[in-house]
Amino acid sequence: MTVKDIAQRLSLTEAFSGENVDREVTGCYIGDLLSLVMSKAQQGDAWITVQGNINVPAVSTLTDCAMVIIAENMKLDEAALARAKMEEIPVYYSEKSAFEIACGIKECL
């Protein structure tokens, strides 16, 4: 299922969608500790986190995640959102917990 489809199915709020919304999502990883995310998240994953700082788009780019979902009503800060736009990383917000979001994604894959 694509980024766009998952965003729609899970009623996610768009922070930035850009030109990669038709990319296929192939897995999911939950993590807030960035070194751990870098070693465990896989290419094509939907990465769920509560972090919202400038390092989030950087780590997403390095691991080649398909999308970032910020859980628990947290938001990206201004610098992070600008970097996400520059790097063309689809980022969405949700008021749900990481667990609830991951369960929704599992049903989509």
Partner 1 sequence: MANSSVKLHYEVADNDFTVAGEASGAVKKVLRQLGFPSDVIRRVAVSMYECEINMVIHANGGHIDVEITPDKIRMVHTDKGPGIKDIGQAMQKGFSTANEEVRQLGFGAGMGLPNMQRYTDEMKITTEIGKGTVVDMTVYVNKF
Binding site for partner 1 (CB under 8 A): 32-39, 43, 51, 53-56, 58-59, 61-64, 79, 83, 87
Q: How far is the CB of 94 from partner 1 (least distance, A)?
A: 19
Q: How far is the CB of 8 from partner 1 (least distance, A)?
A: 29
**CA nearest 19: which of 7, 6, 8, 3?**
3
Nearer to partner 1, 4 or 85 (CB): 85
Task: Give dist(CA 12, CA 54) in Å, integer.
Answer: 21
> What helix, strand, coil percent values describe the chain, rounded to 5?
40, 20, 40
Nearer to partner 1, 62 or 109 (CB): 62
* Sign of the dihedral defined by the CA atoms of residues 6, 47, 79, 84, in that order: negative
Nearer to partner 1, 51 or 94 (CB): 51
Q: How far is the CB of 49 from partner 1 (least distance, A)?
A: 8
